[in-house]
Chains A and B, each alone.
Chain A
């Protein structure tokens, strides 16, 4: 196992002002548009992340929640280095990693692993499970002997509740839950410290979700893992997380310990989101109704990204982008209303 961080207060992952912009305008000709009778070249960009900052301490399960298109998956992929950021910094274990060459990045690629949402798409259909699991191991540990590789793969397979016989089979022979076990095994086989799990259970049935969540929680206990857990299912997030970040349209609205967030949400968006969670046996509907429609990240609203749907927005919210400010009890909220004490 990895040596745990001696200094617990030091963050394992530190993200500062991270921005990511996608250019979706296509080729030169596709960029041409007609405006007021004149042909112009215009680039269409999606502002997927806008100056996102947060820290993850070792041993935490830090969840990022938000609705589809809010940029939570992009955040996970940018943090782990799958997308180069367009601004800001990512520090891991005290070292800045977003500017590293791919060779210098190599050790971090072993320490940081990713589990994807769709267990059907993320496993190479033409490779046997053994090959899928051995590949990252061989890549990161070229000095390991074939026996060592084989032993390690078998060990991890058993840890994720799989069978050694699975190793000789192809991904399509497995159910969704079993494939997600294999995906997790692939991440665990190189003995990482930090796993970004992007909606790892949303493609699965309820009874299978519980199996995978338990597996992830067990692995966290046994290996001292730190998770960044990206999800839209708030009741799952509530169950598994230690801290939660709520994201809306590429910006963080609120970051808080799980107890505080669910007991006393500050940001109006968080409140609406939590009120919308369906609860078993809850009869009275007390959903907070938001107004308007979710804007696209192509044309970001001015000021607070949420102001168009917020019931409490005033003129300042339209004009000025709120900062993520620390409240007395440590909760971070990006809301003028909260800052002014009127919410």
Chain B
């Protein structure tokens, strides 16, 4: 198991290395940092001096090593627009996005498991058919449309929920959280629901199909033949085996949710990373873009690594075999 975890962590570092290469390639080839720093009113000689100072005349590999060194220390360059370190900007905006993703993930997990399991156990019941039909509709409607419809219905028409922003937040040790105020929660409802609307139907369908497959297996039939009670068969024997593939696929999907925040945050003016990313694109803020890429990449890698390790814990064949 230890060897298995070490392997996964080594793999995670390899992936981070590749992501950083892409980040460096963008930084190196898109935009001219000297122009971004100086504007147009500086003499050519002065520019050359700054260029030398920034190490932009060094060979590419030295620049890359420096980039890696800095990145390892959390220095991802200066944001041209905010005039502060890009990493600081990212960290400032990260809590908003992470809270949004966390709540969405909760919604997905809490709804998809019972719905998926129910639809697998009673595939012919009307409620199952409604759930499955609804999930197809859910998959096919784009997230921004759901967001806009939600805003129209609950904010404009009914006036129950706020339509943009995070509402009142509390600063807890540098982390601005919306979890501690009622206003913050009210502001979370629409964005998190519309963000979860992409993955929720997929998860329901995934859990249902995996569970149905497991229910057909020999060991489930054997469990019936042993005279076990149905709830034990469904929720222990079948569900635990359903979890294995769901964890693998699901972990990756939850990571992808972060990417979808770009749309959701833009619609709801949610001051998070996705919103920041759109701004950075508009302003050609290369350093910030690279910082976003690295940060989100890192989160994805961490999520995937954790998922793999959880999978190893749940699945005894991985845990003991190790080399398998």
Contacts and interface: CB of A to CB of B under 8 A. Distances in A.
B40 interface: no
A99 interface: no
A34 B323 contact: no
A29 B7 contact: yes
A165 to B, nearest CB: 37
Contacts of A29: 7, 10-11
B2 A30 contact: no
| Majority secondary structure, A binding face | mixed
Interface residues of A, number: 10
A25 B6 CA distance: 16
Contacts of A25: 323
Nearest to A34: B3
A280 interface: no
A34 B11 contact: no
A42 B3 CA distance: 12
B323 A44 contact: yes
Contacts of B7: 29-30, 32
Interface residues of B, number: 8
B245 interface: no
A39 interface: yes
Contacts of B6: 32, 34, 39
Interface string B7-47: 10011000000000000000000000000000000000000
A31 B322 CA distance: 10
Nearest to A29: B7
A237 to B, nearest CB: 30
A65 B2 CA distance: 41
A175 interface: no
B277 to A, nearest CB: 32
A39 B3 contact: yes
A29 B10 CA distance: 8
B184 to A, nearest CB: 43
Given A25-B323, A44-B323, A34 B2 contact: yes
Contacts of A31: 323
A26 to B, nearest CB: 8
Contacts of B10: 29, 32
B33 to A, nearest CB: 36
A299 to B, nearest CB: 12
Interface string A18-53: 000000010001111110000100101000000000
B301 to A, nearest CB: 15
A44 B6 CA distance: 18
Contacts of A42: 323
Contacts of A34: 2-3, 6
B11 A33 contact: no
Interface in A265-293: none
10 contacts: A25-B323, A29-B7, A29-B11, A30-B323, A31-B323, A33-B322, A34-B2, A34-B3, A39-B3, A39-B6
Given A30-B323, A44-B323, 9 more contacts: A25-B323, A29-B10, A30-B7, A31-B323, A32-B7, A34-B2, A34-B6, A39-B3, A39-B6
Complex A-B, nearest 3 residue pairs according to Cβ-Cβ distance, in ascending order: A34-B3, A29-B7, A33-B3
